[in-house]
Amino acid sequence: MTAELVRGQNHPLPGTRLEIRVSAGTPVVAGATLGDEQGRVLGAERVAHPGSPTLPGLEVSRQAAADHRLAVDLEALGEGVHRVHVLLALPLGTAGPSRFAAVAAPFVAVTALDGTEIASFTLTGLDAESAVVALELYRRQGAWKIRAIGQGYAGGLADLLADQGLPEAGRLAATIQDAIALGASRSVAAPPPRTSDDARVRTPGPGAAVGPTPAGAEPPAAVPQQPVGDGGPINYAHPRRRTSTPPSPAPVAPPAAPGEPAPPVAGDAGGWSMDERLYNQVWGMFEDLARAVAAYRSAVDFADSRMEQELDRALSDPRGRMGSAGERAREEARVKREDLVGRAREALDRDLAQLTAESEVVEPALPPPYARWDNPVWHAYRVPMELPMALRIGDLTLPEQPELRIPMLVRLPLERGLWIDSGRGGSDEAAFMDPDRLKGLAVDTAVAVAARLLAVYPAHEFAVHVIDPAGSAAGRLAPLTRSGVLAAPPAAGAAGVSEVLARLTERVDLVQMAVRAGAGADALPPGMDTAEQLLIVNDFPHGFDDRALNQLRYLADEGPSVGVHLLMVADREDASEYGPVLQPLWRSLLRLTPVPDDHLADPWVGHAWTYEPPLAPPGSRVLEQVLGQVGEARATWPH
């Protein structure tokens, strides 16, 4: 029976190999410290955190996420370790909440490796704290116990670590926050709560007012939220997700055969329009796949651990290590392991079959912003009059089912810039590729992403600029230049770099001043383009001096909030001479790769997902045809 602990209560632990599961409803950092008998942490090497996630007997997550699974082997901790403190902290310097009072109470459960829950604790009563000691595992008279702590710290990780006697706690806290920022740069952000169309942040069009974000708008949340009858969040639990009741009828699934799950239907998630229902359904599929694979991997870990334990017990007697007894023990342990893994795989295969069936229904029903280039929906493409909720910028897969591709949807307008990594050190596949071919594919990926952005914006609401200092990408950029969708020809040389950056930096400054003053668009200089702007930068840092470098960093930091977005095509090694100066720039951008690579993490369990870029099929002219329509619409739009 599970012990539901309250603050200060303890409970015995029946085993020494455990999982600690955290559910927070918003991205949090999970870590742990190893203390002596007095609970003192003697050095940074005794702290497990995203930058150093593995210690003997302990493993924590590598990035902030809404759910965590911490693995603990108490027997492997060492004789000097008497206390293990499990820490939770809110990521600082992000758009998320900065104190626990602003989020749902985190829930922590201690389970055996087979998933049996031993004890749980809900961390209530937190207020201004941004870090908290959730649980303590402690050794008492040779046995291990668990205690619910719930001690919060308004001063964050630095105060928490200092309270445990850690030397240079402030420096380690800064190191952990740096690791969190690096993890955030590779994490796919979960969708924000639904807002009305009126509340969406949009760059002002001609005659529109320029003002701050509406008071009712909320920051992005960690999990999809939709209004339901009782005011709670949508439950995306597989196989059927409870959804809100939209104002227009949602598709109804045909009757299921007895004992069979209901057939999937495209658009059966909650939402106020079909696009929103499909958007929520895609995110539901994403979360379902993440959690199904997490359960499978956990079961395999348990099976491996149990086999090791059984072999250790069976072979602890030297007389049983040799001959038929030893062989029989090994075979029995192996058979049990295969049985457990087989049952786990059967459960996973059932989930994968349902998700595959759902994907086969949903994928053909997607509108152009969410659809792959090979979807026939592009044959009927027309330049839109309204901005959609989101945009597909690639696909995500896991090795357990690489054929099941989840659309990678990002909300519009973009909240952060994009970086197409053209370096050979970016992935295993890139490491063996010809550098020139890899850089060419990176430009092709940038063109494909830019084309998708141009295709989903109204013709007068999006402008694209290109910086190509040496002109090395002229051929690859031809789909953009020939179609007439660029605001100006690609800028070349140091003078071209300086001119484009100065113009966009001035635009950011002017719009920010208008926003702060609550002024209307008529306060902006006559003739200033109020459309959202995308700057594509190739061959960085070629052609950039120190001033241009600072301007680029400024655009990356301040541009998205006022409709100026950055799309970099760069090899980080080419800019290595700048050292740590450029670290904030790289971390502010969402890294994408021109070849498949497992570098992106989901916001629920933090799997490494393989990203596939949104390139058009070989021989297809769909990209050029779509850009041609956009170019014609731009040319005929009245100025």
Over range 80-90, report the average pLDDT.
93
Query: Tens digit of pLDDT for each residue in 475-501?
Result: 999 999 999 999 999 999 999 999 999
Q: Which two tokens stand for residue 617?
A: 């099929």
> How high is the pLDDT of residue 251?
59
Give the end-to-end CA distance of the chain in Å, rounded to a whole number.
71
DSSP per-residue letters across 66-95: EEEEEEEEGGGS-TT--EEEEEEEPPTTSS
pLDDT at 447 over 50: yes
pLDDT at 184 over 80: no
Burial state string for 572-586 with b = 16 or more CB within 10 A and e = fewer than 16: beebeeeeeebeebb
User: Is the backbone of residue 186 left (phi > 0), alpha (psi -120 to 50) or beta?
Assistant: alpha
pLDDT at 217 over 60: no
Over range 210-231, report the average pLDDT.
32
Q: pLDDT above 90 covers what percent of the chain?
A: 51
Over range 145-165, report the average pLDDT.
93
> How high is the pLDDT of residue 213?
34
Give the residue among 375, 639, 379, 405 at the shortest CA–CA distance from 526.
639
> How high is the pLDDT of residue 563?
93
> How high is the pLDDT of residue 521?
65
Q: pLDDT above 70 covers what percent of the chain?
A: 85
**pLDDT bucket at 223, cuts 50 / 70 / 90:** very low
Q: Which two tokens stand for residue 62?
A: 């590598």
Higher pLDDT, 466 or 233: 466
Over range 5-14, report the average pLDDT.
91
Q: Decide if 266 contacts 278 (C-beta within 8 A).
A: yes
pLDDT at 549 over 90: yes
pLDDT at 474 over 70: yes
pLDDT at 112 over 70: yes
> How high is the pLDDT of residue 244?
39
Residue 172 identity (one-letter amino acid): L
Over range 382-411, report the average pLDDT.
95
**Omega within 30 of 0 (cis) for the link into 224:** no
- For 413-636, CATH gives 3.40.50.300
> How high is the pLDDT of residue 190?
65
Mean pLDDT of the chain: 84
Strand 17-35 and strand 47-48: the pairing is: antiparallel
* Domain 3-185 fold: Lipoxygenase-1 (2.60.60)
Over range 386-397, report the average pLDDT.
95
Return d(Cα 110, Cα 137) in angstroms, integer.
10
Return d(Cα 220, Cα 620) in angstroms, integer.
37
Q: Decide if 594 contacts 611 (C-beta within 8 A).
A: no
238-247, 384-393, 598-607, range with the lowest pLDDT: 238-247
| Coil, strand or helix at 369 | helix
pLDDT at 382 over 70: yes
Read off the DSSP letter of residue 230. Answer: T
Over range 101-126, report the average pLDDT.
89
The CATH 2.60.60.30 portion of the chain extends over 3-185
Phi, psi (degrees; rounded to nearest 5) at 630: -65, -45
Query: Tens digit of pLDDT for each residue in 302-352?
Result: 788 778 877 777 777 666 566 677 788 888 888 988 998 999 899 999 999
| Coil, strand or helix at 305 | helix
Highest mean pLDDT among 207-216, 237-246, 532-541: 532-541
Return d(Cα 42, Cα 167) in angstroms, integer.
7
**pLDDT bucket at 219, cuts 50 / 70 / 90:** very low
Cβ neighbours, 10 Å, residue 538: 28
pTM score, two decimals?
0.74
**pLDDT bucket at 377, cuts 50 / 70 / 90:** very high
